[in-house]
Amino acid sequence: MKLTGTRATRFISAPQVDIIGVLLFGPDRGLAKERANQLAKTYCANPDDAFAATVLTADDLTSDPAKLADEMSALSMFGDARLVRVRLDHERSGAAISKIIKSFDTDPSKAEAKLIIEAGDLSPRSAVRKAFEAAGNFASIGCYAASANDLANLVRTSLNEFSISIDNDALELWTPFLGGDHALARGEIEKMALYKGYGSEAGAKVSLADVRVLAAGGQNVSIDDIIMSAMDGRLEDCDAHFKRAVAGKINAAVILRSLQRHLGRLIEANANMASGDTAESAIKALRPPVFRMQERAFLSQLRLWPGSMLSRALSQSLEAERQLKTASAPGNAITGRLLLALAGYAKKRRRA
């Protein structure tokens, strides 16, 4: 059974009793782990108890594929609920796991324990993923990077738990830093809550200045600084901002996705102008609206970059992101080279 969207969210909160096991997979390992921990607490009164929960690794199943079936069939020593958790870092035992899932799906009465498997980004051809998605008594849930709206909601909800609010400008600036991994986002929000004293002062609110202090590992640079300097043609500033971001451990993929969002908005505004709108009207039509502190720079970039070059820049950024997904790809070098190329082009346009 494949669960997505709101069905997946509802299931994590209140799993169906007839579902024997759940596969949590995808590029966002932090989200997979968070959901697995939430399910574990539902399935087992004490998921940290060695008698109640068994933890297996991919290597355990490679050396002994039948161990999974044995653990799922084993009776509880004390008659309470049991849980089996598997950390699947590779699929060398994928075919064996697939057969076990099909066997328990055919005869669910054999299962004496619930199963949770955490995996990385499995392709649709994955034997394990296909087995879970085809089964009626097992569920498969993909864990992917949150959208900007999802991240904004996560920030508000998490900070609200500490009675801390956040300015809209600060939220808009901060959100791009949090993309990529759910656990990273949670960690950054927790760091901000600590910085604000966990809401110990009445009316605690995260400001733009707070975000600038804490974002990028305290290196006092934002992703917007990098992207805006590149698209403005400020070559030296772009290089300096990017180097500070690298020192602050900002993920190169997060910078690329933010660049793609910015390019997409410029392309949309350019299309509005092609339809007869003025540059000012074109950006006012964008949703969400352009950050007011960036309106002048956005207008300048809209006049500086032809539509054809914006589309080419977007294609190059997508290609760079594809390269980042290749094993051992030098992510910082790929991203830095693209940013400097964009900044160099914009600088020449300004001189023309």
pLDDT at 250: 75
**Of 88-92, 94-98, 186-190, highest mean pLDDT:** 94-98
Tell which wins on pLDDT, 238 or 147.
238
- Tokens 């959100």 correspond to what residue? 175
Query: What is the DSSP code string of 134-145?
Result: H-SSEEEEE--P
Average pLDDT value for residue range 272-290: 81
pLDDT tens-digit profile of 318-350? 999 888 877 566 888 999 999 999 999 999 998
Average pLDDT value for residue range 154-159: 93
Q: pLDDT averaged over the chain?
A: 88
pLDDT at 96: 96
- Tokens 């993929």 correspond to what residue? 253
pLDDT at 40: 94
Q: Which domains does the chain have, with CATH numbers?
A: 2-142 (3.40.50.300), 146-218 (1.10.8.60), 220-352 (1.20.272.10)
pLDDT at 27: 83
pLDDT at 279: 84
Phi-psi region of 234 (alpha: psi -120 to 50; beta: other; left: phi over 0): beta
pLDDT at 79: 67
pLDDT at 218: 44
* pLDDT tops 60 at residue 103: yes
* pLDDT tops 80 at residue 249: no
pLDDT tens-digit profile of 209-243? 888 777 644 444 577 889 999 999 999 999 988 88
* pLDDT tops 60 at residue 123: yes
Q: Which long-range contacts (CB under 8 A, 24 or more apart) does 206-209 make?
A: 206/159, 206/164, 206/165, 206/166, 206/167, 206/170, 206/171, 206/174, 207/167, 207/170, 208/167, 208/169, 208/170, 208/173
* pLDDT tops 50 at residue 293: yes
* pLDDT tops 70 at residue 276: yes
Which pair of tokens denotes residue 210? 């707070």
Tell which wins on pLDDT, 182 or 210.
210
Tell which wins on pLDDT, 222 or 174.
174
8 A C-beta contact, residue 90 and residue 58: yes
Which pair of tokens denotes residue 83? 């849980």
pLDDT at 116: 98
Residue count of the chain, please give it: 352
Q: Of 17-26, 93-102, 253-262, where does mean pLDDT reach its minimum?
A: 253-262
- How is the beta sheet containing 82-88 ordered, strand by strand? 2-3, 138-142, 21-25, 113-119, 82-88, 53-57
What is the maximum alpha-carbon separation in the chain?
Answer: 80
pTM, entire model = 0.59
Distance CA 297, CA 223 (A): 15
